[in-house]
Chains A and B, each alone.
Chain A
């Protein structure tokens, strides 16, 4: 799995090129959409009640678009200006903010009915400078405490992220707990390498609500709209119909090379004859 968070900080990694690439990639779109629907499901909002949500790390608005479709009013924050520019071009409905979530939010207490975040938290786990406010624990603490106060009581925050180790999950959950959140980690498809997804389910004043169960069992079969892996094309070409490899260096190739060397003035090039490039007898 690629780890862009180890390459550069998000506002630099997601420059103009990477932001467009990210948004136009249908595979990323599909994964983001699936995770957003799953996060909304875990958010467990009361039906038929319009909610006001916070999308943390909204990026180019891939998840925001789904929130629009579902009829939610939302506010998105992201630290990468290029991503927000793409979001503006895509005309999403939510209000966008250029904000570093590690610096904390300035929203008044009880502002939001819930928060979602898709593939973001791992970006908080790297220190960019040696300043004390840049250390991951400090940034996480700031993020979780201000998020906790910005949420209504009771409500939930669902944060999907890609941890590299159990230590990271431990660090994140312990800081979230200190900030006052209840809840825990939900792992979908724990036995699949590809479909495994980690969701941090945080409750504000949950009052004994249970952490939802992760999805289990087989990964959903790839639908017809998704491309399936095909091995057919790789096979053809290398081998002929009889199953033997076709030689690349046939007579034509040898003649062409010899002509080339002659043109370049290389010495002692054997002359062309009927024996040039002739197949040898098989010798046991």
Chain B
């Protein structure tokens, strides 16, 4: 159940991988859409935490282009609904996430990403 809300917070945590380690790139992914309860206050509160460009790139990779490429100044209901859909309703079930810096592969199976590191990769 990786959703874009958590993907947007996730950086690579392998040893000596401190720069250019965000966002993780998707590869060979399968997605599933599942409806979630719409909570406008939560989305509004979450806006400042988002890295907008990374979110747009990831959404495009998943085939969703409902969001504007620049974060809008004015926040209306439709925008929040689209954002809600992108953040919380698209689930990545299978595939992998790859660190753009150290090329570490985090496989996703059954909706759960495997973030375990080998002994030599622990910081």
On A, residues with C-beta under 8 Å from B are: 49-50, 52, 71, 73, 75, 77, 79, 81, 84-85, 88, 93-100, 103-108, 110-111, 129, 131, 133-134, 142, 146
Contacts and interface: CB of A to CB of B under 8 A. Distances in A.
Contacts of B2: 95
B118 to A, nearest CB: 10
A94 B112 CA distance: 11
Contacts of B45: 49-50
5 contacts: A88-B112, A95-B1, A98-B113, A98-B115, A99-B116
A-B residue pairs, 9 tightest by C-beta = A106-B13, A50-B42, A99-B115, A133-B122, A111-B9, A95-B6, A98-B114, A106-B11, A107-B9
Given A49-B41, A99-B116, A129-B119, A106 B12 contact: yes
Interface of B: 1-3, 5-6, 9-13, 21-22, 36, 39, 41-42, 45-46, 49, 51, 88, 110-117, 119, 122-123
A105 B13 contact: yes
Contacts of A129: 119
Given A88-B110, A133-B119, A103 B1 contact: no
A72 to B, nearest CB: 9
Contacts of A106: 10-13, 21, 115
Contact of A50 (B39, B111, B116): B39
Nearest to B115: A99
A96 B1 contact: yes
A201 B113 CA distance: 29
A52 B116 contact: no
A50 B84 CA distance: 14
Given A88-B112, A97-B115, A106-B21, 20 more contacts: A50-B39, A50-B42, A50-B45, A52-B42, A73-B5, A73-B42, A88-B111, A95-B1, A95-B3, A97-B6, A98-B116, A103-B116, A104-B123, A107-B10, A108-B10, A108-B22, A129-B119, A131-B119, A133-B122, A134-B119
Contacts of B39: 50, 71
Q: Which of A93, A98, A104, A142 has the most CB of B within 10 A?
A: A98
B116 A100 contact: yes
Nearest to B48: A110
Contacts of B9: 107-108, 111
Contacts of A134: 119
A105 B3 CA distance: 17
Contacts of A85: 110
Contacts of A75: 6
Nearest to A92: B1
A240 B12 CA distance: 71
Contact of B13 (A49, A84, A146): A146
Contact of B5 (A88, A95, A98, A99): A95
From B3, B5, B51, B112, name the one whose CB has the most chain A CB atoms within 10 angstroms: B112
Contacts of B88: 73
Nearest to A150: B9
Contacts of A97: 6, 112-113, 115
A100 B46 CA distance: 26
A202 to B, nearest CB: 20
Contacts of A94: 1
Contact of A111 (B42, B49, B119): B49
Nearest to B51: A108
A104 B122 CA distance: 8
A219 B96 CA distance: 49
A96 B109 CA distance: 11
A85 B110 CA distance: 9
A146 B14 CA distance: 12
